[in-house]
Amino acid sequence: MKERQLSGIGMTSARTRERLIARLREAGVMNEAVLERIRSVPRHLFVDEALASRAYEDTALPIGFGQTISQPYIVALMTQALIEHVPGGGQPGKVLEIGTGCGYQTAVLAPLVRHVFSVERIQALRERAGKRLRALRINNVSLRHADGWHGWQSQAPFDGIIVTAAPTDIPAELLDQLADGGRLVIPAGRRGAQALLRVTREGNRMQREELALVSFVPLLEGTER
């Protein structure tokens, strides 16, 4: 990929990105590694060219198939919640992501953990996300076309699980695939009344924190082409 494409021009330039970073800081995102990822991942390459000029606004945008790329603040908040204060001080090892979408959250997260296993139920989105991640030379990611309600059993347990679509209740299979000390960051609840939760496994105890009120597309069942 050409340098000019990556760095962007006009509304996708460094100055526009700095304004977004300032906004996320004001909103309480403190993790410098996360802010650096938001600064350097070219979000304009994850949306339709017609929407590129809006890519560094702090807003969700359509990516087709009735789905959206999450708001940068939410991506930053979820990434921070997943990687901060990891027991032992290091970075999370294996992370499972449910809802690859356009791959933006995957790209922000990947260098901050050892490996991301990401599941998407719409095959066309999975394919496009794979192309973008390869073009950006993000290689510690495995993508899979499947129904994320069941997690990714053959790769479990995970040190972290991040879900970017909202179920009404937390799927039990995801909790089962969490390593001891691992954490699940997930929006849950009815439409219009969703909360972003962080659930940390301590042995057989699940410790639950509420991080924010949010509005995500629903976690659906089954797969689509």
Q: Which spans of this chain sit near ligand SAH (rule: CB under 6 A)?
A: 63, 67-70, 98-99, 101-102, 104-105, 119-122, 125, 147-149, 164-165, 217, 219-220
Based on CB atoms, which residue is closest to ligand SAH, 115 or 181?
115
Task: Report the nearest approach of ligand SAH to the CB of residue 163 (Å).
Answer: 8
Tokens of 157: 């347990």
- Rounded distance between C-alpha atoms, residue 196 and residue 188, angstroms: 6
Q: Has 70 been annotated as catalytic?
A: yes
Residue of 7, 53, 70, 118 marked active site:
70
Is residue 76 a contact partner of residue 35, using CB atoms and an 8 Å limit? yes
Extract the runs of DSSP E, i.e. beta strands, from the chain. 61-64, 67-69, 94-98, 115-120, 141-145, 158-163, 178-188, 194-202, 205-214
Is residue 182 a contact partner of residue 200, using CB atoms and an 8 Å limit? yes
Task: Report the nearest approach of ligand SAH to the CB of residue 175 (Å).
Answer: 16
Based on CB atoms, which residue is closest to ligand SAH, 70 or 200?
70
- Rounded distance between C-alpha atoms, residue 203 and residue 191, angstroms: 31
Give CA separation, 134 vs 89, 107, 129, 183, in Å. 30, 10, 9, 27
By C-alpha distance, which of 25, 67, 23, 69 is closest to 45? 69
Task: Report the nearest approach of ligand SAH to the CB of residue 197 (Å).
Answer: 16
Task: Report the nearest approach of ligand SAH to the CB of residue 193 (Å).
Answer: 18
